[in-house]
């Protein structure tokens, strides 16, 4: 009987092992970059956030709002393509944690070669590690919390990408307005310099009157060149976020950023439930807490329970239970307990620090927004007054009641006041956008980035 049982058990074991094995499939590296040639070639369909909702298609042929630019960055940023791998790793860890150790099987057969015996000896045993069952629930709970933590961190990464794209869109819009104003000023100074230079050549004006105009023109030219370089860099950064080749341009609509909420205190109190980074830290702390539980339960000594069956050479058969366990004299899992407790304490302090920093940033950005808004009111009035005075100076100059140098001063002042307004408008939009991020408002509450660049498996 035993001679037939051994090959049968071996065949069954081999079939189970082969049937559970994974197969190899190659995954070759890409050979070419996949940057879009135009904004029409990038993804611009925002998937539905709920089963009953509909997908939103962003019309890229029209001027894009700041929020739309942020969504396009989430959908197309090359760095976010790695999200799928990070999620898969977390789920793989969960699968690993949910696996119980395989039972151990031992088979032996000793053929009878001589002596008083009548048959070969056969022994079979089956054993299972029982200690792993004690920590099973805590290990799985920790792994599940880690999966949720990874998803929350990935959502926060999407928010960071969208935030960077939104700020770039704001800078590009107001940068374009500043460049247009500076170009008009430079054009006017160039015309004035040409007129004065002609008058100097004709002998009706002296070189002392030409010098200040040429200096103002050179300063305006330098400022304009710096603005254009900054604008070029911002466009290149935004193209990279959108997964496009450098040099692609599209229209950006005037920013309409919500004002500072009136119920700021209530929003601050609810920030921990909205901000993905804070939620991720909460989940990480929960995972660490479960790891502490698992480490404490891991003090239970290694314990293997099983049974044996065998027959000797005289065909005497026997069976019974077996137990193998460690004596917890030296190692009582003290190191793992201390390590997990230290990790939990570290995450506890990190969460407190992040929460303190977020509340501090919210209050600072709110105060900054209010202050910039107050300055902006005054700057707009000053810009209107300066432009009115510049127009009056142009009329006076046309009637020969004002000299060229004075006209240049009025026009330069009007240009500077316009640039002040554009700078404050930009600063106010940036502060309000940053405040919305700190409050966890205005961005998708679920992950939006596709599995890969084309949304394929």
50-78 residue pLDDT tens: 777 788 899 999 999 999 999 999 999 98
Q: What integer pLDDT is reported at residue 102 of this predicted model?
A: 87
Joined together, the tokens standing for residue 454 give 């084309």
Q: Provide DSSP, 15-65.
A: HHHHHT-------PPPSS---BSSGGGS--EEPPSSTTS--EE--TTSPBP
Beta-carbon neighbour count of residue 159 at 10 Å?
22
Domains recognised in the chain with CATH numbers:
35-99+135-298+333-439 (1.20.1600.10), 102-134+300-331 (2.20.200)
Which one-letter DSSP state was computed for residue 165? H
At 394-437, the pLDDT tens digits run 899 888 888 877 888 898 899 999 999 999 999 999 999 999 99
CB 217 within 8 A of CB 132: no
Residues in CB range of 219: below 8 A, 6 or more apart: none
Per-residue pLDDT, 208: 73
Question: Is the pTM here over 0.75, yes or no?
Answer: yes
Reported confidence tier of residue 451, pLDDT bands at 50, 70, 90: low
- Partner residues linked to 108 by β-bridges: 123
CA separation, residue 244 to residues 64, 89, 377 (Å): 16, 29, 38
pLDDT at 11 over 90: no
Mean pLDDT, the chain, rounded, equals 87
Whole-angstrom Cα distance, residue 69 to residue 63? 10
Contact of 124 with 2, CB cutoff 8 Å? no
Contact (CB, 8 A) for 112 and 119: yes
Q: Is the pLDDT of residue 17 over 60?
A: no
Report, in angstroms and rounded to the nearest whole number, the Rg of the chain calculated over CA atoms: 37
Q: Give yes or no for residue 450 having a pLDDT over 60.
A: yes
55-86 exposure pattern, b = at least 16 Cβ within 10 A, e = fewer: eeebebeeebbbbbbbbbbbbbbeebbebeee
CB-CB contact of 171 with 235 (8 Å): no
Provide the greatest CA pair distance for the chain. Answer: 139
State yes or no: pLDDT of 455 exceeds 50. no
CA distances from 27 to 24, 30 (A): 10, 9
Alpha-helical regions (H) of 126-135: 131-134
Torsion of CA 347, 435, 419, 187, to 10 degrees: 80
């Amino acid at each position: 009987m035993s001679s037939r049982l051994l090959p049968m058990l071996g065949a069954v074991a081999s079939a189970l092992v082969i049937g559970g094995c994974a197969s190899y499939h190659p995954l070759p590296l890409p050979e070419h970059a996949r940057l879009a040639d135009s904004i029409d070639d990038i993804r611009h369909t925002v998937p539905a956030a709920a089963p009953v909702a509909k997908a939103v298609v962003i019309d890229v042929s029209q001027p894009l709002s700041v929020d739309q630019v942020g969504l396009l960055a989430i959908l197309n940023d090359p760095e976010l393509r790695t999200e799928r791998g990070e999620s898969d790793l977390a789920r793989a860890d969960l699968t690993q944690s949910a696996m119980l150790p395989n039972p151990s099987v031992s088979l032996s057969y000793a053929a009878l070669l001589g002596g008083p015996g009548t048959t070969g000896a056969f022994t079979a045993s089956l054993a299972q590690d029982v200690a792993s069952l004690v920590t099973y629930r805590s290990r799985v709970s920790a792994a599940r919390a880690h999966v949720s933590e990874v998803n929350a961190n990935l959502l926060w990464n999407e928010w960071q990408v969208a935030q960077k794209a939104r700020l770039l869109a704001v800078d590009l819009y107001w940068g374009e307005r500043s460049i247009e104003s500076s170009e008009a000023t430079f054009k006017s100074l160039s015309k004035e310099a040409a007129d004065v230079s002609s008058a100097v050549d004709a002998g009706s004006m002296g070189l002392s009157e030409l010098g200040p105009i040429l200096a103002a023109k050179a300063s305006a030219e330098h400022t304009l060149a710096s603005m254009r370089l900054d604008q070029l860099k911002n466009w290149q950064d935004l193209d990279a976020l959108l997964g496009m080749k450098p040099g692609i341009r599209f229209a950006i609509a005037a920013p309409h950023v919500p004002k500072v909420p009136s119920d700021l205190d209530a929003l601050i109190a609810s920030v921990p439930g909205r901000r993905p980074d804070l939620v991720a830290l909460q989940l990480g702390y929960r995972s660490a807490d479960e790891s502490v539980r698992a480490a404490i339960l891991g003090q239970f000594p290694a314990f293997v329970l099983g049974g044996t069956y065998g027959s000797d050479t005289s065909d005497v058969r026997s069976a019974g239970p077996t137990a193998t366990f460690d004596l917890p004299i030296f190692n009582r899992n003290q190191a793992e307990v201390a390590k997990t407790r230290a990790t939990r304490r570290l995450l506890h302090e990190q969460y407190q620090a992040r929460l303190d920093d977020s509340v501090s940033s919210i209050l600072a950005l709110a105060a900054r927004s209010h202050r910039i808004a107050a300055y902006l009111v005054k700057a707009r009035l000053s810009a209107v007054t300066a432009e009115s005075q510049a127009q009056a100076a142009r009329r006076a100059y046309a009637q020969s009641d004002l000299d060229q140098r004075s006209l240049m001063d009025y026009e330069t002042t009007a240009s500077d006041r316009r640039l002040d307004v554009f700078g404050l408008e930009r600063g106010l939009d940036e502060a309000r956008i940053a405040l919305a991020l700190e409050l966890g408002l205005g961005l998708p509450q679920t992950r939006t980035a596709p599995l890969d660049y084309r949304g394929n498996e």
